């Protein structure tokens, strides 16, 4: 696997969220403009900044489109919508992680908090500052 791309509206805010809040490390950055990216991305006159972050062998790419800009809204996707639904990350302490991420623009979906005693796990969903769904899982093995 190469990476998972996430379109963001404010690269600095998202960088602080994923790097400082979720513990990803900044790996590299790329500025892209015009061809061949315009053809590959199907976005004429594209101008974007891509920030690559890594954690636990996973690479995410934060994509900020200066041109043509981002489209859509920041409402959380339904879990049964076709396509990529969410990211899932292990955390040492669910409550602490949710509290720290709230100060970085996360919105905890309180109705999703669950505890599974048989698996010795707790979990909850939150959204990043642009509405991307993220599942945080605390297990005895985390």
Beta strands 25-33 and 47-55, pairing class: antiparallel
pLDDT at 141: 65
pLDDT tens, residue by residue, 88-127: 999 999 999 999 999 998 999 999 999 999 889 999 999 9
Alpha helices in 7-93 (DSSP H): 11-15, 37-41
4-67: CATH topology is 2,3-Dihydroxybiphenyl 1,2-Dioxygenase; domain 1 (3.10.180)
Closest CA to 61 of 15, 94, 99, 100: 15
CATH number of 87-139: 3.10.180.10
Does the CA dihedral 57-108-12-8 come out positive or negative?
positive
Question: How far is the C-alpha of 131 from the C-alpha of 2, rounded, in Å?
Answer: 23
Residue ranges, the chain, pLDDT below 50: none
Q: What is the pLDDT of residue 78?
A: 87
Same fold for the pair 4-67 and 87-139? yes
So where are the chain's domains? Answer: 4-67, 87-139
């Amino acid at each position: 696997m190469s990476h998972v791309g996430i379109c963001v509206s404010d690269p600095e805010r998202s960088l602080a969220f994923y790097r400082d809040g979720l513990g990803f490390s900044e790996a590299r950055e790329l500025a892209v403009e015009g061809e061949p990216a315009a053809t590959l991305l199907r976005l004429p006159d594209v101008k974007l900044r891509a920030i690559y972050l890594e954690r636990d062998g996973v690479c995410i790419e934060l994509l900020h489109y200066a041109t043509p800009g981002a489209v859509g809204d920041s409402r959380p996707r339904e879990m049964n919508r076709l396509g990529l639904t969410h990211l899932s990350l292990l955390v040492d302490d669910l409550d602490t992680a949710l509290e720290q991420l709230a100060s970085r623009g996360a919105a905890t979906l309180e109705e999703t908090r669950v505890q599974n005693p048989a698996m010795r796990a707790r979990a909850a969903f939150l959204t990043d500052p642009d509405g991307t769904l993220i599942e945080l899982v605390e297990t005895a093995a985390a």
